[in-house]
Chains A and B, each alone.
Chain A
Amino acid sequence: MWSLVTVALVDGGRRDGAELRRVTREETVATRRNVLNWFLGTSAGAMCGSVVYPVLRYLVPPEVPEAATTRMVAGREGELKAGEAKVFPFGARPAILVRTVEGEYRALSATCTHLNCTVQYRADLKTIWCACHNGMYDLAGHNLAGPPPRPLESYKVDVARGEIVVSKA
């Protein structure tokens, strides 16, 4: 009975009863071996999977929910003279606040769009510069020269009650 079930199982039930009775002893043994191998193989596979999957998941850290910073005080009025700049933490990422020669404030993301370095203001060139791969941006964040493929994200700047408030548009 077992051998018949086995053959039926292996063949997907395609054989009719008469054919099944003609199945030779050797074929029965071979197919029984096949089924056992199949069980063994899938069990081993499942066991490997049950070990590998948790390890892979463990390796990648969980997303730590981070209060999305959309607005923050970047400094006090008068802290920066015209033609000066500072990098400040805007949430988890650095941002840059520039006071132009004309006295206007500009705030941009300070993470270079090329390969993630932190940019700086070059007073001598009146541009934003990335020291890592020599990328240049203008004070509106547009990529001017070098490898950066995209402009820097720019933020809104408001001066209220002596505080410079930077916010995401």
Chain B
Amino acid sequence: MSALVRAAAWLEERVGLSAFAALAREKHVPVHRHSLWYYLGGMTLFLFGIQVVTGILLLLYYRPSSGEAFESVQFVMARVPFGWLIRSIHSWSANLLVFVLFAHMFSVFFLRAYRKPRELTWLSGMLLLFLMMAFGFSGYLLPWNTLAFFATQVGTEVAGRVPFVGGFALRLLRGGDQVTGATLTRFYGFHVAVLPALTTLLLGAHLLLVQRHGMSVPPSVESEARRTGLRVPELPFFPNFLLRDAVGWCVALGALAGLAALAPWELGVKADPFAPAPAGIRPEWYFCWMFQTLKLLPARILGVDGELVGILGFGLGGLLWTLVPLFEREGTSDRLRRAITVAGVLVLVYMTFMTIQAYLPEKH
């Protein structure tokens, strides 16, 4: 018996790894014309892994105070060997992650994979999406540059306008009435401790639920299989599907390295609380559709401040979107189902249109 086999037997007696091996053997992935969308969850997970690793590396040099934050990131970009690479990958990967995550969410939405018994998988996924946006928002401030300063000014003010809890939320987020070094310290705490802890819990639950229920087969594929009497073909997860996943991950890693090398992430100008907001200011692209909406809303709508209508609208919309599995149950009529799909298409079109508009040059 070789040493390796003996070591495996030793571990097996104590840990019982064969249970995991059995689980891996059992797991299968359905193969049909929509199978491509199955790769997005794994891609998101891979990019999240990149964020964890590069984030930990950035922690080694970053200093979370208004006097030193900008300079420490500048040091990483200019002096630390490969610092530009690590930071650029962290920033690019964050953006790619949010993009893939949105694609993952919309694919789950349009393939109606949130149906019973996967309501909680959808819920945990939506909460993870909100967490990733919170990661993006809090991380954006950390280099303490002008763009980030005003994005935080506006973003926290939006939270502050929410009725009843706004005042508390504003001071909780800013660590005071204004965006200052206290805000930076807080955002750092959220970004490297609070959000990662919450994400670990939710991600664990999400992955566990995915294992428990397996991949959802889209209703159209399911009914076709019923009609023809043929079973939906399957692919073993390990190693077949995982190897295909890995091809995607290699491509993503290559793309990240390419983006970081060809377009290193900019640092901008150090934040000055007493300088005007620069022209052309806008938040990260995934907040742009909301930003553009706030720009276009009139000052007063039916006697209420325009931005309040917008903020409440986003909140209500997000809530309805998160609760979509409750609207579609087994007995739901085809008309309501179509209505949900149409609503999803409208949301996607609206978000895309507004995001593009935010990037078009403005006339003054």
Chain A: residues with CB nearer than 8 A to chain B? 59-61, 64, 87-89, 92-94, 96, 110, 114-120, 122, 125, 129-134, 143, 146-149
Chain B: residues with CB nearer than 8 A to chain A? 150, 153-154, 157-158, 161, 168, 171-172, 175-178, 182, 273-281, 291, 294-300, 305-307, 362, 364
- Report A-chain residues with C-beta under 8 Å of the C-beta of B276: 87, 94, 96, 110, 118-120, 131
Interchain CA distance A143-B306 in the complex, whole Å: 14
B281 and A114: CB pair below 8 A? no
Given A61-B176, A130-B277, A131-B281, do A117 and B150 touch, yes or no (CB 8 Å)? yes
B294 and A133: CB pair below 8 A? yes
Our pick among B154, B161, B182 for the contact of A117 (Cβ within 8 Å) is B154
A116 and B157: CB pair below 8 A? yes
Query: Which interface residue of B274, B279, B305 has the most chain A CB atoms within 10 A?
Result: B274
Given A60-B172, A93-B178, A147-B307, do A118 and B297 touch, yes or no (CB 8 Å)? no
How many whole Å from A63's CB to the nearest CB in chain B?
Answer: 8
Question: Which 6 A-B pairs have CB atoms at the shortest separation, nearest pair first?
Answer: A120-B276, A116-B157, A117-B277, A133-B295, A131-B277, A149-B299
A-B CB contact pairs (8 Å), 30 listed: A59-B172, A61-B171, A61-B182, A87-B274, A88-B274, A92-B177, A94-B274, A94-B276, A96-B276, A114-B294, A115-B161, A116-B153, A116-B154, A117-B277, A119-B277, A120-B276, A129-B364, A131-B277, A131-B280, A132-B281, A133-B154, A134-B362, A146-B299, A147-B294, A147-B295, A147-B297, A147-B299, A148-B299, A149-B299, A149-B307
Which residue on chain A has the smallest CB distance to residue B175? A61
Which residue on chain B has the smallest CB distance to residue A127? B364
Interchain CA distance A61-B173 in the complex, whole Å: 10
A132 and B172: CB pair below 8 A? no
How many whole Å from A24's CB to the nearest CB in chain B?
Answer: 44
- Report B-chain residues with C-beta under 8 Å of the C-beta of A89: 273-274
A115 and B274: CB pair below 8 A? no
- Report A-chain residues with C-beta under 8 Å of the C-beta of B172: 59-60
Interchain CA distance A115-B283 in the complex, whole Å: 13
Our pick among A59, A87, A116, A149 for the contact of B306 (Cβ within 8 Å) is A149
A149 and B157: CB pair below 8 A? no
Query: Which interface residue of A87, A115, A147 has the most chain B CB atoms within 10 A?
Result: A115
Our pick among B182, B273, B296 for the contact of A94 (Cβ within 8 Å) is B273
How many whole Å from B300's CB to the nearest CB in chain A?
Answer: 6
Given A87-B276, A120-B277, A132-B281, do A115 and B157 touch, yes or no (CB 8 Å)? yes
How many whole Å from A113's CB to the nearest CB in chain B?
Answer: 9
Our pick among A61, A94, A125, A134 for the contact of B295 (Cβ within 8 Å) is A134
B307 and A114: CB pair below 8 A? yes
Which residue on chain A has the smallest CB distance to residue B153? A116
- Report A-chain residues with C-beta under 8 Å of the C-beta of B278: 131
Interchain CA distance A87-B146 in the complex, whole Å: 15
How many whole Å from A101's CB to the nearest CB in chain B?
Answer: 18
- Report B-chain residues with C-beta under 8 Å of the C-beta of A118: 150, 153, 274-277
Interchain CA distance A80-B178 in the complex, whole Å: 28
Which residue on chain A has the smallest CB distance to residue B308? A149
How many whole Å from A67's CB to the nearest CB in chain B?
Answer: 15
Which residue on chain B has the smallest CB distance to residue A62? B176
B178 and A132: CB pair below 8 A? no
How many whole Å from A28's CB to the nearest CB in chain B?
Answer: 43
